[in-house]
Structures are given as C-alpha cells and as structure tokens.
Structure 1
Amino acid sequence: MEIKNIIFDFGGVLMDWDPRYFFRDYFKDDERMEYFLQNIAQSEWNEEQDRGRSLAEGTEIQVKKFPEWEKELRAYYDNWTVMLKSDIPKNVEILRRLGNTDYQLFGLTNWSEETFPYALENYDFFQIFNGKIVVSGTEKMIKPDPKIWHVLLERYHLNAAESVFIDDNPKNIEMARSLGFTTIKINPDTDLEQELEGLGIQF
C-alpha cells in the first residue's frame, strides 16, 4: 500500500534530551549520577509525568520516598530545559524537506503536558506539523499503550497501513508494527533519508 503519512516520535528522533546534560555538572561524579538516575529519578518515574501526572506531584511523591535526595529531585524539573540540549539536525533537516512534499506529517510523543510547550516555543520545526501532534501528557496515556496510536488514527482519520512510524524505542516500534504501521527504528547512526527512500518515500 502506498505510504501517505509519516509519524515522528520526538525524543531521540528530533530532540536530544538526556538528564545527564544537567546532572553531569551537578554531581561532578558519574557514578553517583548514574545511581541517582537508575534508582531515584529513574525513567519509570519520569514516564508517569509523561502520562499526565503533574511535575509537582511527581516530585513530592519521590521526595517522600527518598528524603535524602530531596535537593537533587527538586533540581530535576527546575533544570529540565538544560536536559533538552538541542534538536538533532540531520533528522530535522529531513523533516523540513518532507514538509515540502505531499506527505502528511504527524507527531506522537511521550512528553509531559507541562514541559512540551517550551519545546514548541523554542524550536520552529514543530510548526511543520501544523498542530497535528498527539502528546501523551495531554492524552493521559503513553506509548507503548496501543490506545495512544488509536487516538492518532481516529483523530486524523489515518490508515496504519498507509503510515510510517519513526521512533527510537524498540517497544514502541514493536507495538506500532503489531498495529499495522511500517516502522523505522532510529539509532544515533541511522540514515533517516536512506531508510525513508528504501520505503519508496520521495523527497
């Protein structure tokens, strides 16, 4: 079936976000930093904010659990913008080129409703999507829950079989594939242009 829609995840695909960009300087001790990120402010905790829990509530829950890490936990969302280091230029360039084609472009992202507006305001390429972005924090569900793909499909009247889904997370890729999407798994060395051309996408 002909591809008509191209759906982008954001973190790791178009945006370079990593808490280490802040905490490396904060701790000046990689071992302590990794302990904190693996055991105290772990990704499962951050994902609950992506699922719609407020940053304030998420912080208080964790401070109550780990009072000895209160200062570091409060620093997490206070310095979130430092963690959003930059866009990923080579992939953003592909997005810009796709913006001049007839393909429909969409975003499907696990992102807190409170922090996403900062990215939206500070990186102009998000405008290419013309607001056709499904944000997990707004929907109160996160990938790989299949329901969030159904939100995208139903809201924009899409057919999964006519759509390419691009993400850096293997679980999300697996789920999208099971729902009928063609998928591209992004790694740091992925040549996105080559991958898309391999699927017959024409720039």
Structure 2
Amino acid sequence: MSGQRAPTKVVFDLGGVLIDWDPRRIFQQYFATRGVMEEFMTQVFWRVHHECHDTNAPFAETIAPHKQAYPEYAAAFDAMAQHWQQALIGPIPETVAVLNDLAARGVTLYALTNWPAQTWPPTHPNPDDYGFLAHFKDIVVSGQVQLRKPDDAIYALAMQQFGLAPGEAVFIDDLAVNADAATRAGMVGHQFLSAAHLRSRLVGLGLL
C-alpha cells in the first residue's frame, strides 16, 4: 500500500458476509430431487435472479416472461416472487461481532449490497435481528440504484455517495470478483473467507 493512505473506513457486503442466505430454501418443495433442483439453480435460477434482481418493478412482473419461457418451472418462479425472504437464514453472529467492534472503535461504516429493492430491508426470520444495520452511515442497495456488482458503475456511485477517496476504505465481499472490482475502483478489496480471517486483516490494517 506504499503511496496510498491507510484505510480508515469499512464498506461491507451483506449477503454471505453479515447475513447468511440460501435461495434453495425457497425451492425445495418444488423439485423431486436435489439433483433436479441444482439443475434448475445452475441453468435457470441465477440468470433469472440477476435479470429480475436489480429493478424496482414487482417480482411478479419481471418474472412473467421467464415463466412463459420455462412453464415447467412456473410454480418455482411464483415461489421466488412471493417468498424471497425465506431464502434468508439470518445474521452471521461472528461477523456481526466484528462489525460491532468496528462501530465501538468509531470506525465509519457503509454497506454496498446486491439486494432486490422489492425485499429491502431484510425481515426474515426475525426483523429484530437486523438492528446491526443501524451501524451503517449509508447503504447502497443494487435494486434501488438499478446497478449491480461487479459492474464498475456501482462502485463509482458508492464511492461518490459515501464521499470516499481512493484508498480510504476497505471493501469486504464474499465473492472474489466483487472484491477485485472494488480494488480497481479505488477501495482496498478483501474477499471474506471467515470472520476470524477478516478480523485478522482488519487488525493488520489498524482498524481493530
């Protein structure tokens, strides 16, 4: 990091870092075997999810053309539209503890998440579990801004909205492609592997 300022702020991804989730929880009852469900997930769901994800339109509206294209999956698509929150398992306590420790030290915190506008903020399984979101000074939600990681535009928007200078913030994401994109945008990208690994990195940076 020679020639760069030491980071003093932290930007968190949410899903897979602070909030555990698995969309398979929505679909289990609609497929005869796990293998069939995995085929749906791989070949259909993730593409449809990304296409429907980052828009303000109701899920039922964005999913309609996919139901026509894949009528055999119509019930699963309806479940996706009606029960998306069921994919949420809840906060990841070990990472929330890291967040709480950062907040206790007065570190300025932000979040940048790929999350549907239609289901923001998270409420399942217990809305009271998400009080830690109050630690964030600001949150950019992909569905609200109609951009998504790892596109360069959402990082530029977040840095401008958060008022971040290059090198001023660490960005934490469970996907390497998203962390790498943050590094290109001027943040210090860190791939989240575990809370313990993250804590060690933040200690090394002088943030904890």
1:151 aligns with 2:143: no
What is the total number of aligned residue pairs between the two structures? 200
User: 2:31 & 2:192 partners in 1: Cα distance?
Assistant: 30
Residues 166 and 37 (structure 1), Cα distance of their counterparts in 2 relative to 1, 3 Å cut: same
Q: Is the 8 A contact 2:94 2:195 kept in 1?
A: no
1:15-164 to 2 correspondences below 5 Å: 15-27=19-31, 29-41=33-45, 43-52=46-55, 54=57, 55-119=59-123, 121-122=127-128, 123-130=130-137, 132-164=138-170
User: 1:82 & 1:191 partners in 2: Cα distance?
Assistant: 28
User: 1:183 & 1:175 partners in 2: Cα distance?
Assistant: 8
Q: Counterpart amino acid of 1:177?
A: T
Q: Is the 8 A contact 1:40 1:62 kept in 2?
A: no
User: 1:127 & 1:83 partners in 2: Cα distance?
Assistant: 22
Which consecutive residues of structure 1, in runs of 5 or more, have no partner in the other structure? Answer: none
Return the offset for 1:180.
2.2
Per mean C-alpha deviation after superposition, the further-off stretch among 19-28 and 74-83 is 19-28
Return the offset for 1:39.
1.9
Residues 197 and 189 (structure 1), Cα distance of their counterparts in 2 relative to 1, 3 Å cut: closer
User: 1:193 & 1:89 partners in 2: Cα distance?
Assistant: 13
Q: Is the 8 A contact 1:94 1:193 kept in 2?
A: yes
State the partner residue of 2:10: 6
Return the offset for 1:79.
2.0
Per mean C-alpha deviation after superposition, the further-off stretch among 113-122 and 133-142 is 113-122
Q: Is the 8 A contact 2:12 2:173 kept in 1?
A: yes
Root-mean-square deviation (CA), in Å?
1.9
Which consecutive residues of structure 2, in runs of 5 or more, have no partner in the other structure? Answer: none
Query: Normalising by structure 2, what TM-score?
Result: 0.88
User: 1:106 & 1:96 partners in 2: Cα distance?
Assistant: 13
Identity of aligned residues (%): 32
